Amino acid sequence: MVEVGGTRGRIEKRSAILEAAADVFAAEGFALASVDDIAAAAGVAKATVYSHFGDKEGLLRAVLTVEADRAAESNLAAIERLLHVEGDVDDALRDVGRRLVDCFCDPKAQALRRLVTGELARYPDLADLLFGRTPQRVHQALADRLLALSVQGRLVVDDPLTAAEHFGSLLTGSIDARSRLGSRRLPDAELDAIVESGVRVFLRAYGATPAAGR
């Protein structure tokens, strides 16, 4: 590993630790992951971890914050594609839907959700940390896009926030069960089918032409 010392390297150590901690937490869960393991994985002394993050809980929070932001970015990037819809709305929705499903199935994102869920009993505020960062922003952004499409007459959406929830639910609702909470990788074709049927239902409910999608 590259040796970096002094003040300059501090920030690099920090992100190396965050990276390693995310991996170890994801693989082992919070309780089972030892700080020694994380330090070793980051190529760093244990004391360095403590000097950066105070304690294990602080490290967890830092990891969750970083990963939640990262997840939010990729989700928002997917939704961005609804800003200028050129062809059919349903093509656009399928495209965006597939991207959102991919974000949802991303191993890191799934590990993140598992982490928070598992430690909720010990640290109840983690849910706010996570949900305040990712789903809320994503939800709002999607609602904005759907409303805009409705104004353009390409969808009929009276309550954008609810419609956004429905879109997301139809796409991701069955994935946790099918993938056994992420412990099984779902084949591409299956994800495509989920998106396909989910978008079809969404369009029957919110499409501008009542008979959309046959």
Partner DNA sequence: GGTCTACTAGACTCATGAGTCTGTTTTAGC
Partner DNA sequence: GCTAAAACAGACTCATGAGTCTAGTAGACC
| Footprint on this chain of its own copies (rule: CB under 8 A) | 26-29, 31-32, 113-114, 116-122, 124, 127-128, 131, 135-136, 139, 159, 162, 165-166, 168-170, 172-174, 177, 180-183, 197-198, 200-202, 204-206, 210-211
What is 100-140 written as a DSSP string?
Answer: HHHHHH-HHHHHHHHHHHHHTTT-TTHHHHHHHHTHHHHHH
Write out the binding residues for DNA, residues 56-95 only, by CB under 7 A.
56-57
**8 is a site residue for DNA (CB under 7 A):** yes
**115 is a site residue for DNA (CB under 7 A):** no
Give the whole-angstrom CA distance, residue 99 versus residue 210: 26
Give the whole-angstrom CA distance, residue 43 versus residue 156: 54
**Partner whose footprint covers residue 181, from its own copies, DNA, none (CB < 5 to 8 Å by kind):** its own copies
Give the whole-angstrom CA distance, residue 63 versus residue 126: 11
Quick one: 8 or 214, whose CB is closer to its own copies?
214
Assigned token pair, 213: 């999608």
Is-contact 201 188, C-beta < 8 A? no
Q: Exactly one of 15, 27, 55, 80 binds DNA (CB under 7 A); which one?
A: 55
Quick one: 66 or 129, whose CB is closer to its own copies?
129
Quick one: 5 or 87, whose CB is closer to DNA?
5
Is-contact 78 99, C-beta < 8 A? yes
Quick one: 36 or 188, whose CB is closer to DNA?
36
Q: Exactly one of 26, 33, 63, 71 binds DNA (CB under 7 A); which one?
A: 33
Q: Exactly one of 29, 50, 114, 118 binds DNA (CB under 7 A); which one?
A: 50
Assigned token pair, 26: 């994801």
Q: Phi then psi for 5, rounded to 5 degrees?
A: -125, 180
* Number of residues counted as binding DNA (CB under 7 A): 27
